[in-house]
């Protein structure tokens, strides 16, 4: 049995986040000790690690809920989980596609500044005047 602090330390998930996951129904409400401390079973550590890893990969709470539901039914087809992962992959790819032009514009702005003083700084000038940007971002 783990306290919430111990669970936080072993998983790297902050205590308020653990409480949030409980409120969202991703973690079961733990039993309580005689001193009213939360006490987590070892399975909750594994479940929280699963949630943390999924969040690190950008999965939404809804997608994590779906994946957790699937994990409780080992006889279900793996394609169901694959579809969720493919959706997430597309979301990440879309974000990357949007970030590439932003990266190019920031690089252009950052490397174009050759002024010695702020009044001559291209970074400041381009942030103040969107027309100086080379593309829409």
Statement: residue 135 has pLDDT above 90 = no
Residues 126 and 133: beta-carbon distance below 8 Å: yes
Statement: residue 97 has pLDDT above 90 = yes
C-alpha 59/C-alpha 3 separation (Å) is 27
User: Which residues make Cβ contacts (< 8 Å) with residue 57, sequence separation at least 6?
Assistant: 88
pLDDT tens profile 100-123:
999 999 999 989 877 788 888 889
pLDDT at 113: 76
Domain 1-76 has CATH 1.10.1660.10: yes
pLDDT at 30: 82
C-alpha 124/C-alpha 119 separation (Å) is 8
pLDDT at 115: 72
Residues 35 and 5: beta-carbon distance below 8 Å: no
C-alpha 86/C-alpha 97 separation (Å) is 16
pLDDT at 48: 97
pLDDT tens profile 59-70:
999 999 999 999
According to DSSP, the residues that pair with 38 across neighbouring strands are 32
Q: Which of 9-13, 80-84, 85-89, 118-122 shows the lowest mean pLDDT across its residues?
A: 118-122
pLDDT at 71: 94
């Amino acid at each position: 049995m783990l306290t919430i602090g111990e669970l936080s330390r072993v998983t790297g998930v902050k205590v308020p986040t653990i409480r949030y996951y409980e409120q969202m129904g991703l973690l079961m409400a733990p039993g309580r000790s005689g001193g009213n401390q939360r006490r987590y079973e070892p399975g909750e550590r594994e479940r929280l690690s699963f949630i943390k890893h999924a969040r690190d990969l950008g999965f939404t709470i809804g997608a994590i809920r779906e994946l957790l539901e699937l994990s409780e039914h080992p006889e279900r087809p793996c394609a169901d989980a694959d579809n969720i992962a493919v959706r997430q992959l597309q979301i990440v790819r879309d974000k990357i596609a949007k970030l590439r032009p932003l990266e190019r514009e920031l690089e252009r702005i950052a490397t174009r500044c050759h002024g010695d003083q702020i009044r001559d700084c291209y970074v400041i000038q381009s942030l103040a005047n969107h027309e100086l940007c080379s593309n829409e971002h």
